[in-house]
A and B are shown apart, each in its own frame.
Chain A
């Protein structure tokens, strides 16, 4: 008799299932708009040229030691990653108030940050501190834009010291980010109500094509004196999805506190993965720390961001040209990899079953799945589903 006989089947992960269904579909014009990774105009994954170059350098470097990385990760990676988020001339970095933990992707960074907060924030082992994550209720499904009133309301009502996970830019799944003024309002309330800021930054550079612009919100909060965490991922902006390159940046008001915080985080890492993988961190570190490679990388990132912006433009134009009912401005107003189309579940089902265009039930699409070759077909499909299905 197995001791595992009462294990229930966990529900399948929606986006994996979508990809699986797409793979099995044999329709010649099928399109996958559920994929969470960048694609070229030929719908292929893209190894950034700078990454190829650096990987080659690494594989040929005979002086590399092959030891375990320190528990907190590769030092030159951690500092370079934090610098790219907080800015070259960050006063927090100059004051030695910034520390970091290399993590297994953005998820790993969130995990370590969350575990730390659970044990050490707002008292010790205070598991009743609420954590707020953004919900579609802050974003209007008909894509009118960020429901700022709703968000500010939640901030006012949340118990003091609640933790808020905020997307630094390119909100997933909606693509709708607060404006600078809106960020200022958010910050004002969070400071007054002593709410904790935990930024999730997975798209720096990828959203607008500009690293600084995409990190504005983080830098603004730091300049306002907030202590905060940033869970960074280099999966998308380096195309290093499979190397799990993440960084948890910690900004503290006091450098001695910082040392103790990092020591506790080290303990947490020790019982999770102990020593992080080196390959991805080396690639990112080499790139960020070398001016020529850094410039080349920014160019690569802009290439990706520009293609996405182009697809947004084209999709909107084509829908307008087709006279598809509804307004489509949100497609170009939204930013980043994802977009909420505003299609309802029935219309989504039509898209998948009748047109073999795969997207999430929420109506979210990945702009990277669009190419100059399939955009007409997708626009027509959206047009059909909106006009035929209510």
Chain B
């Protein structure tokens, strides 16, 4: 993927060179965009909340529609894209005469599941070496969670006819509850996670909620890139939580939807999974390769299960096959082929990691600039969390009325709970967005 285009870089340079306390103008990059109409706010006009400016902005706002609700990673041009390496590999695979269009097994491509296990747990993982890891390729992330839910429903603590509860973070992806319920688990509860006022995770309340969970509860935790808040637990916090999980005999179901896209570091993003495994815990982990390969349309997901004993692997695997056969029979191969090809080739791996790093750098840049703009505008509240977090999403901390203001009056759409997709911000809409957030916080109750 190319470096961030001139837009954001220019803005950052100008800001740093200008008067730190005052308002100044920046040029708006004029190349055409897919997502947002070209900027119309008078070039050279000074941003600021005085009434003349407000009415000018109001007139402009009719022409704009800014959508920050997308789930994908967007380029500076406002489009989703596949990694350059992916395009190359697809060409290669297409020309390969040996590839054969056979039914894959219900568990998916062997090479893919092997690499998917390794990329999360690490090549030298004891669990892998001791054959205690079940890996199943799934048609996407949702399917991985669904299969995990079905496995829990049918196989977890089978003697006690387990059927919940499952604890989800507050907030979380609104489809999660539905997935567990579709698998027949009705008892869904929430644990405290994101604190709007503090603009961070409230560990104390989180621990309190989990402390009260019945034994054998399943706790769904985001390993990294929490949706929709972008707020992830620190390594210290993870250490405390895993202690609680083991003491209270809870079962962790970890979500890893965008490994590598959080901090540009694959190991770091999957560290919580490795921590749990290294402490001898059993766990489920749902993964997606959509974001970190730009393979959204190909539905490349994976479910991983770490067991305490290798003797259980065959049985659990056979049950997984049975469940898969009644859901989708087998996964689709195309995208998994690409991922397996990249993950099993050291040169490809390096190239891939490089492209992902550049995506992360751009996200970081956007966060930096957004925070700076809000500071310059004098927007109330503390925005440190913007740059402390990593990944695609972040929370604005706006309340419902403020979010409604943004949607209705400024045509800026946010994710639920006032969160937004950072990558959907670019050189053309950054000014408008920051001004909109500022207005929402200052003119709304």
Partner-B contacts on A (CB < 8 A): 1-13, 16, 36-37, 45, 47, 55-56, 59, 65-69, 104-108, 111, 235, 239-244, 267-268, 270-280
Stretch at the interface among B121-129, B319-327, B365-373: B319-327
| CB<8 Å pairs between A and B, sample of 12 | A3-B251, A4-B155, A4-B282, A45-B100, A47-B101, A68-B72, A104-B327, A105-B328, A239-B101, A242-B332, A278-B297, A279-B297
Cα distance A335–B80 in the bound complex, in angstroms = 46
Contacts of B139 in A (CB 8 A): 104, 244, 273, 276-277
* A3→B151 CA distance, assembly (Å): 12
| B444 contacts partner chain A, Cβ-Cβ < 8 Å | no
Q: Chain A interface: which of B59-67, B174-182, B425-433?
A: B174-182
> How many chain B residues have a CB neighbour from A under 8 Å?
64
Beyond A3-B156, A242-B102, A244-B331, whether A279 also contacts B298 by CB under 8 A is: yes
In the complex, the answer to whether B332 meets A271 with C-beta atoms within 8 Å is no
Q: Does B46 contact A (CB under 8 A)?
A: no
Contacting B101 at CB < 8 Å: which of A1, A56, A240, A267?
Answer: A240
How far is A7 from B162 in the complex, measured between Cα atoms in Å?
12
Complex: how many Å from CA A105 to CA B103? 11
Binding site for A on B (CB under 8 A): 71-72, 79-82, 90-91, 94, 100-105, 138-143, 146, 155-159, 175, 178-179, 181-182, 216, 251, 282, 290, 294-299, 307-309, 312, 314-316, 318-319, 321-322, 325-335
Contact of A66 among B294, B329, B334 (CB under 8 A): B294
Q: How far is the CA of A277 from the CA of B331 in the complex (A)?
A: 9
Please give 18 more A-B residue pairs, beta carbons under 8 A apart, in addition to A3-B157, A274-B141. A3-B251, A4-B155, A4-B158, A5-B312, A7-B158, A7-B312, A8-B319, A10-B321, A65-B79, A66-B80, A104-B332, A105-B328, A107-B327, A242-B333, A244-B139, A271-B175, A271-B178, A273-B140
Q: A66–B297 contact, CB under 8 A?
A: yes
In the complex, the answer to whether B94 meets A59 with C-beta atoms within 8 Å is yes
CB distance from B33 to the nearest CB of A (A): 15
Known interface pairs A45-B100, A45-B102, A244-B331. Does A273 touch B299 (Cβ–Cβ under 8 Å)? yes
Q: Which of A1, A10, A37, A55 contacts B102, CB < 8 Å?
A: A37
Q: B322 contacts which chain A residues (CB < 8 A)?
A: 10
CB-CB < 8 A to B290: which residues of A? 68
8 Å CB contact of A280 from B146, B307, B329, B332: B332
Looking at chain A's contact residues, the main secondary structure is loop
B102-A272 in contact (CB<8A): no
Chain A residue numbers with a CB within 8 Å of B314 are 9
B405 smallest CB distance to A (angstroms) = 29
* Best-surrounded residue of A16, A107, A240, A274 (most CB of chain B within 10 A): A274
Cα(A272)–Cα(B299), bound, Å: 12
CA distance A105 to B330 in the complex (A): 8
Output the nearest chain A residue to B179 by Cβ-Cβ distance: A271
Q: Which residues of B contact A271 (CB under 8 A)?
A: 142, 146, 175, 178-179, 181-182
Q: Which residues of A contact B330 (CB under 8 A)?
A: 105, 242, 244
Q: Is the CB of B80 within 8 A of A37?
A: no
- A12 partner residues in chain B, CB cutoff 8 A: 318
A243 touches B334 (CB 8 A): yes
Nearest CB in chain B to that of A44: its residue? B100
Known contacts A242-B333, A271-B142, A279-B332; A66 and B82 CB within 8 A of each other: yes
Chain A, residue nearest B158 (CB): A6
Q: How far is the CA of A12 from the CA of B325 in the complex (A)?
A: 12
Partner of B72, one of A67, A104, A105, A107: A67
Residues of A within 8 A of B79 (CB): 65
> Which residues of A have CB within 8 Å of B216?
3
In angstroms, Cα B178 to Cα A273, docked, is 12
Task: Give chain A residues whose Cβ lies under 8 Å from the Cβ of B181.
Answer: 271
B312 contacts across to A, CB distance below 8 A: 2, 4-5, 7
A45 touching B72, Cβ below 8 Å = no
5 pairs of A and B residues whose beta carbons are closest in the complex: A278-B297, A274-B142, A107-B329, A104-B328, A242-B333
A67 and B80 contacting across the interface, CB-CB below 8 Å: yes
Q: How far is the CA of A277 from the CA of B295 in the complex (A)?
A: 10
Closest CB of chain B to A41's CB: distance in Å? Answer: 17
Which residue in chain A gives the minimum CB-CB distance to B154?
A7
Out of B104, B142, B298, which one reaches A272, CB within 8 Å?
B142
- Which one of A2, A66, A277 contacts B307 once the chains associate, using CB atoms below 8 Å? A2
In this complex, what residue of B is CB-closest to A238?
Answer: B101
When distances are taken between beta carbons in the complex, the residues of chain B under 8 Å from A5 are 309, 312
Given the interface contacts A37-B102, A272-B143, does A277 sit within 8 Å of B156 by beta carbon?
A: no
Give bound CA distance, A274 to B296, whole Å: 12
Whether the pair B308, A2 counts as a contact (CB closer than 8 A) is yes
A11 to chain B, nearest CB (A): 8
A235 to B331, CA, bound (A): 13
Given the interface pairs A3-B251, A9-B314, A45-B101, the reply to whether A105 lies near B296 with Cβ below 8 Å is no
Query: Which of B158, B181, B315, B334 has most A Cβ within 10 Å?
Result: B334
Known A-B contacts A242-B104, A244-B328; A7 and B319 likewise in contact (beta carbons under 8 Å): yes
Judge whether B175 and A270 touch: CB under 8 Å. Answer: yes
B101, B103, B182 pick with most chain A CB within 10 angstroms = B101
- Tell me the bound Cα distance from A55 to B79 in angstroms: 23
The smallest C-beta distance from B411 to any residue of chain A, in angstroms, reads 21
When C-beta atoms are compared, the residue in chain B nearest to A103 turns out to be B328
Which chain A positions have C-beta within 8 A of B309?
2, 5
Report A34 CB to chain B, min CB distance, Å.
13
In the assembled complex, the Cα of A284 lies from the Cα of B124 at a distance in Å of 42
In the complex, how many angstroms separate the beta carbon of B335 from the nearest chain A beta carbon? 7
Instruction: Chain B residues near A243: list those with CB within 8 A.
Output: 101, 332-334
Q: Give the Cβ gap from B186 to chain A, nearest Cβ, in Å.
A: 13
Q: Which residues of A contact B251 (CB under 8 A)?
A: 3
**In the complex, what distance in Å separates the CA atom of A6 from the CA atom of B103?**
31
Q: Is the CB of A9 within 8 A of B101?
A: no
Bound CA span A279–B334, Å: 7
- Chain B residues closer than 8 Å to A105, beta-carbon distance: 328-330
Contact A10 B146 (CB under 8 A): no
Within 8 Å CB of A278, what residues of B? 297-299
Chain B's closest residue to A69 (CB) is B297
A241 to B100, CA, bound (A): 10
List, in ascending order, chain A residues with CB within 8 A of B334's CB.
242-243, 277, 279-280
Which residues in B have their C-beta under 8 angstroms from that of A13? 321, 325
- Contact between A268 and B182 (Cβ–Cβ < 8 Å)? yes
The residue on A at minimum CB distance from B143 is A273
CA distance A314 to B298 in the complex (A): 42
**What is the CB-to-nearest-CB distance from A71 to chain B, in angstroms, rounded to a whole number?**
10
Q: Is the CB of A242 within 8 A of B315?
A: no
Instruction: Specify which chain B residues have a CB less than 8 angstroms from the CB of A280 in the assembled complex.
Output: 332, 334
A308 to chain B, nearest CB (A): 18
A59: contacting residue among B91, B102, B103, B335, CB under 8 A: B91
- With CB as the reference atom, state the residue of chain A lying closest to B178: A271
CA gap between A2 and B297 in the complex, in Å: 37
B163: min CB distance to chain A, Å: 14
Enumerate chain A residues within 8 angstroms of B316, measured Cβ to Cβ: 4, 7
CB neighbours of B82 from chain A (8 A)? 66
Task: Tell me if A36 and B321 are in contact (CB < 8 A).
Answer: no
